[in-house]
Amino acid sequence: MGDPSADRSVARGGDVSTDDLNSEDLLKRYKVPGQNIFLIGTFDAGVTVLDQQVRALNLVWALVEQDFLQYHRQSNVAGPAGRPQRVAIVGGGFAGLTAAAGLLRKGINADITLFEQRDTLLPLQQGSDSRWLHPHIYDWPKVGSLSGAALLPVLNWTAARASDVVVQILGEWKATYREWHGTSENKFRLYCNARHVQVHETGTDRNQLRIEWVGEQRSPEDGITAVPLNGSPSATYHTVTTGSSEEFDIVLLAVGFGTERDTEQSYWRNETYAQPSLDSQRHTYVVSGQGDGAMMDLLRLRVSQFRQDRILGEIFEGKKQLVDALQEIQALHTGLNAAPGLFNALEVLSDRHPDEFATVRDRMSRRLRRDTEVILSLQVKKFSELFDPATRRISFQNRVLVYLLYKCGGFFPSSRGTDELERDSELIAERVVRRHGTRRDEMLKDVLSEYLYKLISSARTEKDANYFLQPHAPAWRGGYFGFPGRELDAVHLPETTKSSWKKEYLPGPTALMATAFCASLSGVLAAGHSSDFRLRVVLHRVVSFGGREVLQQACDYQGVALSHADKSGVARTFPTHVGTIGLAFGTRQIIRSRKKVSPTELRLYMKSPARALNEASRDMSPSVTFVLAIPIVEPPEPNRHTPPSSVVGVIYIDSQQPGYFINNKVLSGIVTMADGFVSGLQVLSESRLQRLSNMAPPVLFAPNKIVAETNSHPLFDATAKRLLEEVTSIVPPMTGGPFQMNFDYSEFVALE
C-alpha cells in the first residue's frame, strides 16, 4: 500500500494499457513539457508499493530505450563534453529507490545523486510493524492475487509486515549497489535529512536544471554510515551536514504523496487498533474516511486476528463458485468504465448463492471482536453510495470485506460530521481515526520552482487532466533488467554475459523441486554416459513476464563434467521460439537430434535466424553431439490449460560424448519418470502444505494479451528435419488439467 486513501479501481494510470504505448509514448506520461524532469506516480490514484515500483521501472525502460540514458559502452555519450550524465532522484521511498536500482542494473553512463527528506531510506515503512504489505491483494479476486511475491526483476519482495518488507528491499538494494559499485566507474551519492531541496530552471531558454540542497551525505550501500567531506567512508556515525548547488541533466521526482490531512497519527505509525483491549472494557471508535486507509482500520478494529494478506483466503476458502461470481462482478464494476450498482450486485449475489454466502458471512460474524464498536463517519448519506463510481475510493476487495462486515452488523455508518460524533460520543482523541487522504500538491510545490510547478499544472489543466497518469503493468520484456543497455543492443554483448543474463524472479521451492528432479534424472543417465564428457540436464518452466510467455531455467544444470558457466544460469529467461526448447514448446512434441548428427551443423543451425539461440544465450558449444527437449504439456482443450499456451515446461538434455544417443526405450523411461514427477506435483498442489503453495502467478494482463513470442521462420524447415526429429511415437508428459510450476512460500495459514 502506498497512499492510504488509495483505490486501485478508480480512474488511474493503471487503466492505461502498456499494449498501446511504445517507449516514446510512455515517456510522455512522465515528462514535464520542455524539461528533463520526470514524475513517478505523483497523480495516479490507487497506488500500491508494487504499482510505484513498476512505474519506476517502466520509466527506466523508456529512458534507456529512447536514449535519454545510455549504456556506458555505447559510443555516443549524451553528457556534455563527453562526461557522464548527471541524474538526480528526489525521494528515497519505494519508487525512488527502485528507479535508482533499475538505472544501476542497466549500466548507464551517469553519476546519480539520490535525495531523501528524512533520516533514512524507505522512511515511512521503517519499523512499521502494525501494517502489512501484500503485492497483489488489491487485485483480488483475480487469478494470482493471493500470490505473495512481487515478481520484480529489481528490488523484489514478498508479503510481510511493512517493516519486514523494508528489510527485504534494503537487502536487495545493498546487493544491487555492491554489484554495480564493484564494476562501474560512475559515482552514486546519497543525501538523507535533505530538508531543503529546490529544483529550479536556469539558462536563457529556462530548460536547464539546477538543484540546491542542504543534507547529510550517507553511504549509498546502507543509507546509515556518514560520509565526511573528504569523501571516504567514516569510521564513526557522526553526521556531516552540507549545503550545495549543482546542475543536473535529468531529474526524477519520486516525492510521494505528501503528509496526511487532518491527523497527527500517520497511517504507517504503529498503534494498537488490531490488538484486544487490556482493560476488559468495550471501547467505541469513530473511523472517518472513504478510502482504503479508513476501511483497513475499520476492519482491524472489528475483525479478530485480522491480517490483510490472509483474511480473504480464510473467509472465502473452498467457495469457488462465489469467488468466480465475484470475478465477474469485479470486471463489470471496476476500471475506467465501471458500471454503477455494485452494492445491488452484491445483494443479488447473496441471493443467487445463498448457502455459500451464508457460510462466508458466518465466518466473518464469528470473527467479530467483542471489545470494540465502530461508527464509520461518511460524507455520503447512504452506505450503498460508498460503492458507486462517483463517490467510491475503495479497492474492490475492501468493498467486499466491508460489505460482509455490514451484513454482520459490524459497524454503524453515519453521515454526521466527525467532530460532532467525537463530541457526542465523548471520545478521547486516540479513538478517532481520520483517514482523509494526503496533500500531494504540497510535495511538488515544496521542491519545484514556481515556473516548473506551473508547467505541470498547465499540462494537467490545459492539455489533459490525465496527462501524467502512468500504467502500473510492466512495459519491459522478461529479462530486460538482467543485461545492460537497450534491447536491440543486447545481441552484441559478450558471450560471458549471456551465460547468466535476463534473469527474473524464480521461487526458491520451485528451484528446489526442479533441482531434485534434474539431479535424479542426470544420475540415471550418468550410468550410461562417460564421465570424461559433459552431460547436462535442466528443466525450464513456462511463465509470463511483461505480458509475454517465456521459458525460465528453473535450476542450474545437473549432470557430468559441468563447467562453472553451467552453474550460473538459474532463473534465466528465453523467448519461447529459440533453440531446441523452442521447437518442443511450439510443436508440443519431443524433439531429438538424429543419430550421428554433425556437431558443426547442429551448432550453425541453432545460431541461424530460425532458432536464434545466440540472441538469448551463449552460442552452442561446438562439442555438443546430442540434444533432446521434452515438453510437459497440458490438455489443449479450452479451460483445461493455462492460456495462452498449453505447455507447462520443457526438459532439456544435451551431451558432448561422441556418438551419444538416447533411444526410444530410454526415452520412454524418462517420460515415465517425468509423468510421475508431474503427477506428484499435482497431488502436492492440492494438499494443504504449511507455508508452501503452488499458487497461480498474478495475471497483470488479460490472458488474450499474453503472447508467446514467435519468429517468421517455420518451426520445422528442411534443415531442422535433416538434423532433428519429432518423436511422435512417444506421448510427452501431460498434466490432468490446468497446472503451473510456481511453488513458493506463503504466509497464509487457514484458521480451522
Same domain, 34 and 82: yes
pLDDT reported for residue 19: 54
Top-confidence residue, 443 or 572:
572
Residue ending a domain, choose from 388, 418, 434: 434
> What average pLDDT score do residues 152-163 get?
94
Residue 527 lies in a domain: yes
- CB of 142 closer than 8 Å to CB of 695: no
pLDDT reported for residue 674: 98
Tally: H helices and E strands in the chain? 20, 24
Q: How sure is the predictor about 333, in pLDDT bands with cuts at 50, 70 and 90?
A: very high
Q: How sure is the predictor about 13, in pLDDT bands with cuts at 50, 70 and 90?
A: very low
Same domain, 305 and 397: yes
pLDDT at 15 over 60: no
pLDDT reported for residue 750: 44
- CB of 559 closer than 8 Å to CB of 569: no
- CB of 297 closer than 8 Å to CB of 287: yes
Q: Over the stretch 195-227, which tens digit does the pLDDT of each residue have?
A: 899 999 998 889 899 999 999 999 999 999 988
DSSP 8-state class, residue 14:
G
Give the range among 43-47, 222-226, 328-332, 651-655 with minimum mean pLDDT: 43-47
Same domain, 445 and 544: no
pLDDT reported for residue 708: 55
Q: How sure is the predictor about 58, in pLDDT bands with cuts at 50, 70 and 90?
A: very high
Assign 316 to helix, strand or coil.
helix
pLDDT reported for residue 161: 93
Secondary structure string (H, E, C) spanning 319-351: CHHHHHHHHHHHHHHCCCCCCCCHHHHHHHHHH
Residue 265 lies in a domain: no
> What average pLDDT score do residues 291-296 get?
92
Cα separation, 386 vs 378, in Å, equals: 8
- CB of 632 closer than 8 Å to CB of 735: yes
Residue 474 lies in a domain: no
Looking up cell 470473527, which residue turns up?
367
- CB of 39 closer than 8 Å to CB of 455: no
Q: How sure is the predictor about 14, in pLDDT bands with cuts at 50, 70 and 90?
A: very low
Q: Which three cell numbers stand for residue 546?
A: 511483461
Which CATH number characterizes residue 630's domain? 3.30.450.40
Same domain, 210 and 338: no
pLDDT reported for residue 11: 35
Q: How many residues does the chain have?
A: 752
Residue 1 lies in a domain: no
pLDDT reported for residue 704: 46
Backbone conformation region of residue 363, classed left if phi is above 0, alpha if psi is from -120 to 50, else beta: alpha
Same domain, 571 and 538: yes
Q: Over the stretch 234-279, which tens digit does the pLDDT of each residue have?
A: 445 556 789 999 999 999 999 987 777 777 778 888 898 889 988 8
Q: Over the stretch 607-654, which tens digit does the pLDDT of each residue have?
A: 988 888 878 888 899 999 999 999 999 998 888 888 888 999 999 999
Same domain, 430 and 444: no
Q: How sure is the predictor about 7, in pLDDT bands with cuts at 50, 70 and 90?
A: very low
**Parallel, antiparallel or unpaired: strands 743-745 and 692-694:** antiparallel
pLDDT reported for residue 545: 84
Residue 640 lies in a domain: yes
Q: Over the stretch 583-612, which tens digit does the pLDDT of each residue have?
A: 999 999 999 999 999 999 999 999 988 888
CA dihedral 259, 263, 266, 269 (to 10 degrees): 150
> What average pLDDT score do residues 441-453 get?
91
Residue 275 lies in a domain: no
pLDDT reported for residue 234: 47
Nearby residues of 293 by Cβ (< 8 Å), 6 or more positions away: 1, 4, 5, 6, 267, 435
Residue 609 lies in a domain: yes
Same domain, 399 and 445: no
pLDDT at 407 over 90: yes
Same domain, 514 and 457: no
Nearby residues of 153 by Cβ (< 8 Å), 6 or more positions away: 57, 105, 479, 480, 481, 482, 503, 504, 505, 545
Integer angstrom CA distances of residue 58 from 51, 449, 644 = 10, 26, 24
Q: Where are the beta strands (DSSP E) in 221-269?
A: 241-248, 250-253
Q: Over the stretch 566-588, which tens digit does the pLDDT of each residue have?
A: 788 899 999 999 999 999 999 99
Same domain, 503 and 423: no
Instruction: Using a pLDDT cut of 70, give the percent of the chain over it.
Output: 90
Nearby residues of 187 by Cβ (< 8 Å), 6 or more positions away: 84, 111, 112
- CB of 237 closer than 8 Å to CB of 216: no
What residues make up the domain containing 143?
A: 13-236+255-259+440-463
pLDDT reported for residue 712: 52
588-606 b/e (C-beta count within 10 Å ≥ 16 → b): bbbbbbeeebebeebbbbb
- CB of 69 closer than 8 Å to CB of 107: no
Assign 86 to helix, strand or coil.
strand
Same domain, 502 and 650: yes
Give pTM, 2 decimals. 0.90
CA dihedral 306, 307, 310, 315 (to 10 degrees): 20
- CB of 79 closer than 8 Å to CB of 65: no
> What average pLDDT score do residues 184-193 get?
96
Cα separation, 411 vs 429, in Å, equals: 19
Number of domains observed in the structure of the chain: 3
Cα separation, 143 vs 697, in Å, equals: 7
Cα four-point dihedral sign 737, 741, 746, 749? positive
Same domain, 384 and 458: no
pLDDT reported for residue 268: 86
Residue 478 lies in a domain: no
Average pLDDT value for the chain: 88
Q: Over the stretch 701-717, which tens digit does the pLDDT of each residue have?
A: 544 455 555 555 567 78
Instruction: Using a pLDDT cut of 90, give the percent of the chain over it.
Output: 63
Same domain, 139 and 33: yes
